[in-house]
């Protein structure tokens, strides 16, 4: 049986509680792959993490390999094939008596975390390791990590699949069609309220979703706002950020990268720009992607209307700030 090593940070948190069982159940990497988990947490919650480890053992999954718990990112990064960087400092938390609210403070405190993680994964992870940043601000955290990894053979991504899944769910409700019928949903740009979910290039039965809906008022004033603000809506409703849906989106991204993409569709994640669609090179930017022969590539030559270009410019400028 093939073996892979999967590093997960923030392993005692809510997202990881939903994520970890699905990583070792055989669902994500296949029934012929044994998954060794390398779980990372800050020292104060390592005891809590041990409780999660006990539950994972009790699940009795035949695809579960070894499980490591540590607060040492360098130890965990050794020979990792995948790194799911879930842990980050969220907006609103108080550190040293100061509530982290401003973007600058958020970037400063996460910068140190992802600098260290990038260095560890870049030097100790597999040369072809794949890294998915889930912890927000995901695009910027991924950029910091990638920049400090000094390893261009590794694939660094920020997660936009949650936004894509939210967009598909709203389209499904509006059109009364199955989620599976909706192909090629792209989230352009940043995982933030400036993201642009593209209905012009998404399709159902080969026809543009925006043409099927044929209601620009709904798209611009209902759909876009709902998708862009869905995270806040969930926090307001449950008093906590998305957990199960975020874990599900991470699993979706791993599957999309691990398996070649079906014809006539693509998936969404943020990767380092190569200049495609006029986005500055190196920026971690949400794109339409395909996996072919194990390689992830940006889908080219999608037509963008002036409205879409304006939205993409807004989210690009936010990432450049």
**Where in the sequence numbering do the catalytic residues fall?**
191
Nearest to 157 by CA among 248, 267, 242: 267
Largest CA distance in the chain: 55
CA dihedral 33, 36, 40, 43 (to 10 degrees): 150
Cβ burial, residue 117 (10 Å; 0-12/13-18/19+): buried
HSE, side-chain direction, 13 A CA sphere, residue 132: 26
Q: 158 - beta bridge partners?
A: 133, 270
Check if the beta carbon of residue 135 is closer than 8 Å to that of residue 243: no
User: Look-up: residue for tokens 């072809």?
Assistant: 128
Q: How far apart are CA 66 and CA 62, in angstroms?
A: 11
- Residues near 317 by beta carbon (within 8 Å), at least 6 away in sequence: none
Check if the beta carbon of residue 299 is closer than 8 Å to that of residue 201: no
Q: How far apart are CA 24 and CA 65, in angstroms?
A: 8
- The H or E element containing residue 39 is strand 33-40
Burial 16-49 (b: 16+ CB within 10 A, else e): bebbbbbbbbbebbeeebbbbbbbbbeeeebeeb
């Amino acid at each position: 049986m093939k073996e892979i090593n999967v590093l997960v940070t923030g392993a005692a948190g809510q997202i990881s509680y939903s994520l970890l069982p699905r990583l070792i159940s055989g669902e994500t990497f296949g029934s012929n792959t044994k998954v060794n988990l390398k779980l990372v947490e800050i020292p104060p919650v390592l005891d809590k993490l041990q409780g999660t480890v006990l539950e994972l053992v009790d699940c009795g999954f035949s695809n579960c390999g070894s499980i490591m718990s540590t607060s040492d990112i360098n130890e965990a990064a050794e020979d990792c094939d995948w790194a799911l960087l879930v842990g980050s400092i969220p907006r609103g938390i108080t550190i040293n008596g100061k509530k982290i609210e401003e973007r600058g403070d958020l970037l400063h405190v996460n910068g140190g975390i992802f600098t260290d993680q990038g260095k560890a994964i870049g030097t100790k992870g597999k040369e072809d390791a794949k890294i998915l940043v889930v912890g927000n601000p995901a695009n910027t955290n991924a950029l910091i990590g990638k920049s400090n990894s000094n390893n261009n053979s590794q694939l660094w991504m920020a997660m936009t699949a949650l936004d894509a899944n939210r967009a598909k769910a709203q389209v499904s409700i509006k059109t009364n069609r199955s989620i599976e019928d909706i192909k090629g949903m792209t989230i352009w740009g940043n995982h933030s309220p400036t993201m642009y979910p593209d209905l012009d290039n998404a399709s159902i039965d080969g026809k543009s979703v925006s043409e099927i809906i044929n209601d620009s008022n709904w798209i611009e004033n209902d759909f876009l706002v709902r998708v862009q603000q869905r995270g806040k809506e969930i926090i307001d409703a449950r008093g906590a950020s998305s957990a199960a849906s975020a874990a599900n989106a991470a699993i979706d991204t791993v599957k999309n990268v691990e398996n070649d993409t079906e014809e006539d569709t693509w998936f969404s994640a943020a990767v380092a720009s190569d200049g495609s669609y006029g986005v500055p090179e190196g920026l971690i930017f949400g794109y339409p992607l395909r996996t072919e022969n194990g390689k992830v590539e940006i889908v080219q030559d999608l037509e963008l209307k002036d409205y879409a270009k304006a939205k993409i410019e807004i989210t690009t400028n936010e990432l450049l700030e």
